[in-house]
Each structure stands twice: as C-alpha cells, then as structure tokens.
Structure 1
Amino acid sequence: MLRSRDSNIRSFVKFKNCSCRVVEVHWINFHGNNIHYSNLKCGETIVVNTFTTHPWIFICQKTGERLRVNNNEVFLAKPWFNFIANSDNGLVSVEREEAQIHIALKSLKDICLWKIIYLIRQKDDIDYLQIPKTLKNDLAYFFYLSTRYREIESENSTSE
C-alpha cells in the first residue's frame, strides 16, 4: 500500500504545474489516505518541505484524472544533501528539487473519452450516445474513475 513511512531524511521541493489544468496536490499520509495539500493553477509553483519516504500525487481538479510528475505517477523526493550548492563567496546552500507536474501521454481514444466525461452528468447518459458498445464500456469505466475519485475525496475531507 502506498503510504508515508518514517520522517528521517528531509527534502526540499518545488512543485511546478506544467499542465494547462488546475492541479490538486496530495500528500499520502501514514495510513495511506490522500491528504489535500494545495491547488495549483497553470504555471504556478509551491514550495514544500517533506521527507524522502513521503509520497505525493497530483490530480486534475476537474476530471479526477491522475497527472504525472517528472514522468512518474508518484513523487518521492530525493534527500536534501543531493542539492547542496557552493556559492562564489564560499557559502553553502541547499537548493530545492524541482518536480514538474504534467499530463500523461495518452492515446487519442483516451483523450476523447476524458473529453466526453466533461459532458456527462450521470452514468445513464452514456446509453444515449450513438457510439459502439465497446466505447460505451470504456466510457463507463472512465466515468467510474472520475466519480470514484470524487467520492474518496469527500470521504477524506469529512474524516479530517
């Protein structure tokens, strides 16, 4: 199960939203629950002090779709000591690791299915679409992913 472990080695991170969507930043706590940390608009950044064993995930606010960070589904920061920098005057500083949030590379079919999700208000609406049954099944699965994400989020927000 994906969850935070110990809090021994610190990390200093800058998350940057490189997508064209509003991104929800979530920390996965010690029990494996998604804890909403912040929202980032297109191009925005946020600095976070975390630990190397604390996972982070990123979700499109509108669709519930999981986004990628540095080409991965989950972000685990590198140790702070990997980012030590020496300046010209002899001082030592620690730079932040930059993590770029972006949309996963998808097939044209998946892109179209996610676009249709924006238009569907309830699962029964899928039956009225004039598309092949296999696409309806795929669309029902995407709809399930989108609504299941929203259910989990509301459960997490009420338990905090």
Structure 2
Amino acid sequence: MEQQEEDEQLPPTLRSIHNRHSSFVKFINTTRHNIGVYWIDYQGKMVCYRVLGCRDHVEINTFVTHPWIFVDEETKDRFPGNGEEVFFPEPWFAKYRGMRPFELPARIERTPVYITLPLYSLRDLCLREIKRRLRYDWQAFDLEIPWSLQHELHVLQPRKPEQRDRDLGS
C-alpha cells in the first residue's frame, strides 16, 4: 500500500525540469502529414504549440531541459525530430564553443529540427494493420496469437474506446 502511494506521488519521468539555459529552434515538418508539435510541461502533460502542415515550420524559443515530441494529428503516431523520439534542445551557445570572438556570427542562428517519417519494422507494420481492423481494443485478446502480442495490440496507439463507451455514444 505504501509503495503504491509513493508511486502516485512521483513526478512523471518525461517532463520539463527548469529553464536555466535558452535554446532557439526551428521545427521543420519534412513529411506530408499534419504534425502536432508538443512541449512536455513541468507536470508531464503534453501542450500543443502548433500543428505543422506539409513542409511547414515554426520558430520557438525554448530551454535545454524541455522535451518536445511530434505527433501525427490523424493517426497519433509519434514522429522523430532529428532522429530522436523525444527531442531535447541544446543550449544556444553549444555550437559556438571554442570559437574566437571574430568567428562568431553577427546573429544567433536557430537550430533546425527536422521532423521525419518514423521507420517501422515489418513486425510493427503488421501489428498496426491488425490494430486498424479491430473495432475495440479488447478484441486483441480474442485473436489466436501469443498473449504478449495480444497485450501489445491492446495497448497500441491509437487507443479505441471500450464497447460500453461506444454504446453510450461517448
């Protein structure tokens, strides 16, 4: 019982921590999907800053310890930013370390962050296709496949409402 209470009081693993070092980024959607740009706030909640259309971009002033994720607005799939599932900015001065004063640019340049398509294994693609064919998440347990795959399908995004929720019109 005490362990459960302690777990409920722990902060989320992925969250913003502090705002000591600034970072200036430019998020660039290189895909044909509408991508939501989400900041993970201090409580671990996703905050949508903007939805980027195909080839769109947004310039954001952020901080080093602030995580960002990118989500397809239709499928809810996560897309990588600069190859990372969760993007953590570098401090603005990192790229200027070791430069002599006369080598510094007249203006601070934003760090480009390229949002790209995720790479899925054949196994992942198959699970996603099976999930699309299920009407409810719990139907994964009716399939004649190993329990581990049933469970994986059950929790795979996007989540589908329970049957009782659909019957109530929720």
**TM over 0.5, yes or no?**
yes
Residue in 2 that maps onto 1:95: 109
- Tell me the SS of whatever aligns to 1:80: coil
Residue in 1 that maps onto 2:27: 15
Distance in structure 1 (CA, Å) of the matches to 2:160 and 2:65:
24
Contact 2:39 2:68 in 1 (8 A): yes
Distance in structure 1 (CA, Å) of the matches to 2:67 and 2:47:
11
C-alpha spacing 1:6/1:121, structure 2 compared with 1 (3 Å): same
The Cα offsets for residues 98-131 of structure 1, whole Å up to 9 and x where unpaired, read as 1111222211231233245445443366689xxx
Contact 2:67 2:87 in 1 (8 A): yes
Moved more, 12-21 or 92-101: 12-21
Residue in 1 that maps onto 2:156: 145
Q: What RMSD in Å do the two structures reach over aligned CA positions?
A: 3.3
Residue in 1 that maps onto 2:84: 72
State the shift of 1:19 in Å: 2.4
C-alpha spacing 1:24/1:81, structure 2 compared with 1 (3 Å): same
Residue in 1 that maps onto 2:166: none
Moved more, 105-114 or 38-47: 105-114
Residue 104 (1) aligns with residue 115 (2): no
* Residue type at the aligned position of 1:99: V
State the shift of 1:35 in Å: 1.1
With normalisation by structure 2, the TM-score equals 0.69
Q: Percent identity?
A: 33
With normalisation by structure 1, the TM-score equals 0.73
Contact 1:64 1:145 in 2 (8 A): no
* Residue type at the aligned position of 2:25: V
| Unpaired stretches in structure 1, ≥5 consecutive residues | 151-160
Distance in structure 1 (CA, Å) of the matches to 2:134 and 2:124:
15
